Amino acid sequence: MKDFLPISKEDMKKRGWDWVDFAFVIGDAYVDHPSFGPAIISRVLESEGYRVGIIAQPDWKDENSIDVFGEPRLGFLICAGNMDSMVNHYSVSKKRRSKDFFTPGGVMGKRPDHATVVYGNLIRRKYKNKPVIIGGIEASLRRMAHYDYWDDCLKRSVLLDSQADIISYGMGEKSIVEIADSLNSGIPVEELTYIKGTVFKTRTLDNLYDHIMLPGYDELCADKLNYARSFYIQYCNTDAFSGKCLAEPYPDGTYVVQNPMSPPLTTEEMDRVYALPYMRTYHPVYEKDGGIDAIKEVKFSLISSRGCYGGCNFCALTFHQGRIIQARSHESIIEEAKQIIKDPEFKGYIHDVGGPTANFRKPACSKQLTKGVCTNRQCLFPKPCPNLQVDHSDYLDLLRKLRALPGVKKVFIRSGIRFDYIMADPDDTFMREMCEHHISGQLKVAPEHISDTVLRTLGKPENSVYKAFCKKYSMINKKLGKPQYLVPYLMSSHPGSTLKEAIELAEYLRDNHLSPEQVQDFYPTPSTISTCMYYTGVDPRTMKPVFVEHSPHGKAMQRALIQYKNPKNYDLVREALETAHRTDLIGFDKKCLIRPRNKNDESKIKRNSSGSKSKNGKQKTAEELKYGISFEKYDSIQNTKNERIRQNRAKRRKR
């Protein structure tokens, strides 16, 4: 029967069930859509004949809240949600967010901090010996000892703190079925030490073959450089083909062992996953509370691929989805598009066709599917690898088929493109058709910064590549007669960025007349190279020191510089310029970032008291000498300008 999976005993009875094989505890509300990890895992298990009941956002203060279906036959599954629960709850400044898009009505507080750990301990208090399997982005990226930004300390593997038995890390479709089949055949959970894509705990390493021993937890806590070395070993062993078993010892004699990653899904396997009978929306029980906002962005979007070989240092995709691209067939995607078109709410616009990187549709090179990815080089950084196969033809063909479907007005690309990959393509067909058919007014890209010093620590191409892309984008749009713009995503305070580089970025924005509304301050999330840099102060690949801005005030100054035009940021921008000895950028000249505030500011702009005379014969002020304008004249110009801005804003609000 095509229906939502049970969320209560009444739902079980409708299906004729007296029990479930797995009770799935999740931190999000229940959304049965393939963009939500718990939906995929539960539907995959269902397709293998297992009964799964969903316990969404249980009350973690009440042991009975996880007893909805009674004791499950095989065990409990836990997923904190589509996001790490701490990222879901807190901004980078560690302030509590006001809205949870994965909860009915956006209400905050329906899941605990560190949800995987809390749910695991909740189950253990009620069911001492039942197998507990954890997974999802939170468990996946915390599978070994990791730096926790919110508590500012090194934490143990989430497997130990949650009291779970095993982690299914990565995307999990293959490993979860193998776990279920093993438990169903009567194998005790503590003997499941052989499944790829899992992490388990053990007291002995006698059964391991050709494993790598990582530094012990005590060693990691004692010396941050040990953590940097350990992290890089883990980073080099995230590939399904070349990765080895990793063992991390703990003081009590326990070892946390990571098996190699699950093999990437084939196209046929991907197609089967996305053809499962999803309801494609949230459970109707949430309608009375305002529904789930998170569905809005993905309801009319299509996932065409997973994995990314872009290698951005601040991204955890290498640890979670891997660097090998896995793609669905055109037929599978078009069939899903036809389902979307039938939806009564569909207005003719497919919001996105992509994945982590929209224009990656196949592995970077042919050897990756037999030998895995290179451990000592990246595919695109610092330059595209000579073996990189640059080809947009398959993606172009897919987009053409989708926009030709009856009922489709426009197909957008919103999940992001790699502009360096586009620039490596000698054929401009994709870029031309993208500009002509797949954006509307503006294209969002992610150069992240313009300083080559910072770009190297980001793992992004040098600024000259972005400049060339901007030039080509402008030229193509001019030929098409389309006034379309680029909206750059920028990041402040990333390791490697001092005030010098932050000011360099602000000057770039000034020279290019850009006023970014959204700026991402670097967010140290688990299992990224950038987070390792933030915690240890070194690049784990080279062990060379990297500047890191840790102080909230220093980070606030860097962020303010990117939005230096915002009056609220004036004091921070001014302090940053004075601290960096760049008071030449305070004044009335067109190259200045901010203006002096009043006459008492003359000393800050290097007062010049020469005896030059103005036209009326009066002594010139220091401002007139240096900038050709007085404070009174400047105030008059600014008042006129501000009034014009207020009038334009009022007109836009009326429209």
525-544 residue pLDDT tens? 999 999 999 999 999 999 99
Q: Which residue has the tokens 């910072």?
A: 454
Closest-CA residue to 318 (of 227, 214, 232, 424): 232
37 and 167 fall within a common domain: yes
280 falls within a domain: no
17 and 157 fall within a common domain: yes
220-256 residue pLDDT tens? 999 999 999 999 999 999 999 999 999 999 999 999 9
Q: Which residues of 202-212 are buried (b: 16+ CB within 10 A; e: fewer)?
A: beeeeebeebb
Domain end residue (candidates: 191, 212, 240):
191
559 falls within a domain: no
Tell me whether strands 255-258 and 246-249 are parallel, antiparallel or unpaired: antiparallel
pLDDT value of position 644? 76
458-516 residue pLDDT tens? 999 999 999 999 999 999 999 999 999 999 999 999 999 999 999 999 999 999 999 88
List Cα–Cα distances, 114 to 90, 411, 468, in angstroms: 12, 38, 43
When pLDDT is cut at 50, 70 and 90, the band that residue 517 belongs to is: confident
pLDDT value of position 647? 76
Give the number of other CB atoms < 10 A from CB of residue 459. 21
Q: Which residues of 317-330 are buried (b: 16+ CB within 10 A; e: fewer)?
A: bbbbbbbbbbbbee
Percent of the chain at pLDDT above 70? 92
Adjacent-strand bridge partners of 198: 168
User: Which residues are CB-neighbours of 453 under 8 A, at least 6 positions away?
Assistant: 496, 497, 501
606 falls within a domain: yes
pLDDT value of position 650? 72
Query: 490 in the Ramachandran plot: left (φ > 0), alpha (ψ -120 to 50) or beta?
Result: beta
The pLDDT of 205-234, averaged and rounded, is 96
When pLDDT is cut at 50, 70 and 90, the band that residue 611 belongs to is: very low
41-80 residue pLDDT tens? 999 999 999 999 999 999 999 999 999 999 999 999 999 9
Alpha carbon distance 258, 248 (integer Å): 8
540 falls within a domain: no
Q: Which two tokens stand for residue 540?
A: 């784990």
16 and 154 fall within a common domain: yes
The pLDDT of 538-556, averaged and rounded, is 96
The pLDDT of 162-169, averaged and rounded, is 98
The answer to whether the Cα torsion of 628, 633, 639, 640 is positive or negative is negative
pLDDT value of position 569? 95
Asked if the model's pLDDT at residue 202 lies above 70, the reply is: yes
179 and 309 fall within a common domain: no
Asked if the model's pLDDT at residue 127 lies above 50, the reply is: yes
Alpha carbon distance 277, 265 (integer Å): 19
Q: Could you tell me the pTM of the whole model? A: 0.89
Percent of the chain at pLDDT above 90? 86
Domain end residue (candidates: 167, 191, 215):
191
398 falls within a domain: yes
Per DSSP, which regions of 51-181 are E strands? 52-56, 75-79, 132-135, 146-148, 153-155, 166-168
pLDDT value of position 653? 66
Q: Which residues of 30-45 are buried (b: 16+ CB within 10 A; e: fewer)?
A: bbbbbbbbbbbbbbbb
Instruction: List the CATH number of the domain containing 168.
Output: 3.40.50.280
pLDDT value of position 639? 66
Domain end residue (candidates: 191, 223, 258):
191
List Cα–Cα distances, 48 to 17, 222, 430, 481, 640, in angstroms: 16, 46, 40, 53, 70
235 falls within a domain: no
Per DSSP, which regions of 326-441 are E strands? 326-327, 349-350, 352-354, 410-411
Instruction: List the CATH number of the domain containing 425.
Output: 3.30.750.210
pLDDT value of position 87? 97
Distance between the two ends of the chain, CA-based, in angstroms?
A: 48
97 falls within a domain: yes
286-311 residue pLDDT tens? 999 999 999 998 999 999 999 999 98
Asked if the model's pLDDT at residue 638 lies above 70, the reply is: no
What residue type is assigned to position 143 of the chain?
Answer: R
When pLDDT is cut at 50, 70 and 90, the band that residue 613 belongs to is: very low
Domain range for 139? 9-191
The domain tally of the chain equals 3
Mean pLDDT of the chain: 92
374-414 residue pLDDT tens? 988 899 999 999 999 999 999 999 999 999 999 999 999 99
590 falls within a domain: no
36 and 182 fall within a common domain: yes
pLDDT value of position 68? 95
Helix (H, G, I), strand (E, B) or coil at 556: helix
